[in-house]
Amino acid sequence: MTVKEAADLMLREGVGSLVVIEEEGPVGILTERDLLYKVLATGRSPARTKIKEVMSTPVITISSSSNVSIAAERMSDLHLRRLPVVDDGKLVGMLTEKDILRLSPSLIELTREWAKVAEGGIAKPEGRTTVPGYCENCESYSIDLRLVNGMLCCPDCRED
């Protein structure tokens, strides 16, 4: 498929990226950023450029059984706005920053802080940062969530 055909599909479907799948599963992802920086800004012809020439690869994925805070941390660490969800080598969904923001607005801010801390070479604030949101263990709302073993937990679940 050409970049022009992919851009038309993205526009038609109202999406900001396409996951490129071959028999063995996801092999690349084409994002709006790829279109801008790797095609338009470099003067390549969208009608003659193939997706495989400009897609981002390898694809960074996560399993549907992973918890959201781990996914958000991975997205933050790798500066990703989208994270394909894969089970048994098959694409089953796409987790975006908007999805995480809907779940817990403070989680996005927390992951951005983790990224800043990590860039400075300082250990992440495991167990010390408090944010509001839904506990990943019991799903209760709390204004006192803390990161414990990669999960945002309320005071009751931290005691267990």
Residue 110 in this model has a pLDDT that exceeds 70:
no
- If one compares 74 and 93, the residue with the highest pLDDT of the two is 93
Q: How far is CA 67 from the centre of its chain?
A: 12
- The answer to whether 152 and 107 are in contact (CB under 8 A) is yes
Contacts of 40 (CB under 8 A, 6+ apart): 46
- In the structure encoding, which two tokens stand for residue 125, read together? 């604030």
Decide: 73 and 112 in contact? Cβ < 8 Å: no
47 band by pLDDT with thresholds 50, 70 and 90: very high
Q: Is the pLDDT of residue 6 over 90?
A: yes
- Of 105, 96, 95, nearest to 131 by C-alpha is 105
pLDDT at 145 over 60: yes
Q: Which fold is adopted by the domain 3-66+75-97?
A: CBS-domain (3.10.580)
Instruction: Specify the domain boundaries for CATH 3.10.580.10 within the chain.
Output: 3-66+75-97
